[in-house]
Amino acid sequence: MRPRVHRYGRFMIARRTVLAAGAGLTLGACGTASRADRDSLLAASATSTTTVDALAADTTSQEPIVIALTLHRLLDDGELGTMRTSGELDDIGQRINEIWAQANIVFEPLLVRDLVVPTAVLAPIVSNGNIDPLIDAFRSSIEISDPGVFNGFFLSSAFGVNGFAPSGVRAFFVVDEPTVHDERVTSHEIGHLLGLHHNADDPERLMFSGTNGTTLDSVEQVVARYIAQGVLDGQR
Ligand SMILES: [Zn+2]
């Protein structure tokens, strides 16, 4: 699977290098090993009332696909946690839904929760995107409040990128001061979770790297709905 880390600027570190530090399960998106990890980390908490035939190109005329999304403020007792307020994340959530309305995908319920973790758990994410300690913490000691089907985690910074979506988990990470709009980087990372890859041709597109573009073309809308439906149906 192609790397899904989203990077900007001159720190062109290969994704394999970034996540090589003991992050095997985050790399094995297509393997069975990562499936169990992902499911235990982020168990689906919503069911779908939509049908698979809601996948035609004219997505806005189809039934909305509704997915539970929880945005977590990652907090620690140091300075690696987010400085964002709950109100700011609520606001980002509203604007995410405006962008994803193009595909008639609705993130609901859209919850904002605090998640306090040890600094030692955040440090590897900040330095190189290694989420293994966070996953271990979820397994052993930290209970995640009201997880959504998808989960966004906000933290101070992450190895020079605006955000990233590790392979194999239904989770993405967004930093406090991205170089693009907050709702844009968040929606872009969700796009990765919904199977979309980068577009290199049009800066107006959501999946172009490093711009404030928000457009989804018809193919992207269909793919995102297909993936979303598969997730909700437990087929993915
Ligand atoms: Zn990206």
Each residue's pLDDT tens digit, 119-176: 999 999 999 999 999 999 999 989 999 999 999 999 999 999 999 999 999 999 999 9
Tell me, in angstroms, the distance from the centre of ligand 1 to residue 133's CA: 23
Cα 232 to the chain's mean position, in Å?
Answer: 16
How many angstroms separate the CA atoms of 149 and 32, rounded? Answer: 19
Instruction: Express each pLDDT in 177-231 by its tens digit.
Output: 999 999 999 999 999 999 999 999 999 999 999 999 999 999 999 999 999 999 9
Q: Which of 38-47, 58-67, 146-155, 185-194 has the lowest mean pLDDT?
A: 38-47
Q: Is the pLDDT of residue 53 over 90?
A: no
Q: Give the CATH superfamily of 5-46+56-232.
A: Collagenase (Catalytic Domain) (3.40.390.10)
Tell me, in angstroms, the distance from the centre of ligand 1 to residue 186's CA: 10
Residue tagged 């994340």 (tokens): 89
Tell me, in angstroms, the distance from the centre of ligand 1 to residue 140's CA: 30
Three-state secondary structure call for residue 65:
strand
Tell me, in angstroms, the distance from the centre of ligand 1 to residue 92's CA: 18
* Residue spans per domain, the chain: 5-46+56-232
Question: Do residues 24 and 12 lie in contact, with contact meaning Cβ atoms separated by under 8 Å?
Answer: no
Tell me, in angstroms, the distance from the centre of ligand 1 to residue 141's CA: 31
Count of positions (residues) in the chain: 236
Tell me, in angstroms, the distance from the centre of ligand 1 to residue 219's CA: 17
Tell me, in angstroms, the distance from the centre of ligand 1 to residue 165's CA: 8
**Which residues neighbour 180 within 8 Å (Cβ) at sequence distance 6 or greater?**
162, 188, 210, 211, 212
φ/ψ of 83, rounded to 5, equals -100, -5
On whether the pTM is more than 0.75, the answer is: yes
Task: Provide the pLDDT for residue 55.
Answer: 52
Tell me, in angstroms, the distance from the centre of ligand 1 to residue 108's CA: 23
Task: State percent of the chain over pLDDT 90.
Answer: 72
